[in-house]
Amino acid sequence: MSFFRKKSLFILLIGIILLVVLVGYSLTSRDKLSAPEKFLMDSVGWMQNLIHQPVTFFVDTFHSFDDIKNTYNENKILREKLAEYKTLIYEVQEMEKENEELRKTLDIVDSPRDFEPVLANVISRSPERWLEQITINRGTKHGVRKNMAVMTVDGMIGKVTSESNLTSTVQLITGFDQLNRISAKISREDSDNIFGLIEGYDKEKEALIFRIIEQSDKDLKEDELVVSSNMGGLFPDGLPIGTIKEINPDQYGLTKIAYVEPAANMYEINQVIVVNRALETTDNIEEDEEE
């Protein structure tokens, strides 16, 4: 056993000496490398290149995935910012529209008229009856009464059909029928007015039905303005209703029917004005009593 141990120590010592010699030799300044050194360097270089390529591939792939992830997150943030920007644009447009509507409302309130305007907001609208009725946040406590006309800044939209202390139900003009008519007229400065009745709504034509109640030799014209008439005694005179878009004779050929495009947007109603004629009625009663 001691022989083999001595032999192993001898071989290890010889190996260490050779290694020191080789290291020392390789560190000396020489123009040319020996064949073993060239073989060793080529072998090491080939192994390094063999290991470097897959490592580089995996590193590049990892960076690519990281770049894709960063791009996805940036796009997500940009989409959110774009959505916020669009929302802000919509809100600004709505605010501008609301401000314009409020300015027109103030003009109506401040203008001299034969009625007292009651401002109200729409608080509910049934999808099933979108073109028939709305509910507003004004009632008898605010002076609202049944059959009062209701309008927007653009024109008449209907009348009050029922009221409570704080709310009222408004039947839209697009939900009227022959049992709920509006006295209307085409007002002309140079000739006699043309009178008729708004007695319904044609859903296909998306227009009000204006039936002329008298035979007239005056020609109706498209784009003429139809306004309310006080002949019925319920509504003030001159509230805009709409403009004529089509004219046809009735089924008997005796009178004419005009299809009127509503002046107000019946699909988007937010603020309304209830036409309160109580002041006018009171003034008339006082005048009668004085006489």
- What is the residue-level pLDDT of the chain in tens, covering all 291 positions? 565 566 777 777 777 777 666 666 555 555 565 666 566 666 666 666 666 667 676 666 766 777 777 887 888 788 777 777 766 676 666 566 666 665 555 555 444 455 678 889 999 988 877 888 999 999 999 999 998 999 898 889 999 999 999 999 999 998 887 777 888 988 877 667 888 899 889 988 999 999 888 665 567 788 899 998 887 667 888 889 999 999 888 777 677 889 999 999 988 898 899 988 654 443 443 333 444
Question: Distance (Å, rounded) from C-alpha 214 to C-alpha 50?
Answer: 103
The CA angle 128-134-156, to the nearest 5 degrees, is: 120
The length of the chain is: 291
Burial class, 280, CB count within 10 angstroms (exposed 0-12 / middle 13-18 / buried 19+): middle
Query: Judging by DSSP bridges, how do beta strands 256-262 and 271-276 pair with one another?
Result: unpaired
Go through 160-177 and write b for each residue having 16 or more CB atoms within 10 A of its CB, e for each that does not: beebeeebbbbbbbbbbe
Question: Distance (Å, rounded) from C-alpha 11 to C-alpha 228?
Answer: 123
Q: How many CA atoms lie within 13 A of 142 on its CB side?
A: 20
How many Å separate Cα 182 from the centre of its chain?
Answer: 33
| Extents of the domains making up the chain | 59-112, 116-278
Tell me which architecture the domain covering 116-278 has in CATH: Beta Barrel (2.40)
The answer to whether 117 touches 278, Cβ cutoff 8 Å, is no
First to last CA, the chain: 151
How much is the pLDDT for 286? 38
The answer to whether 194 touches 218, Cβ cutoff 8 Å, is yes
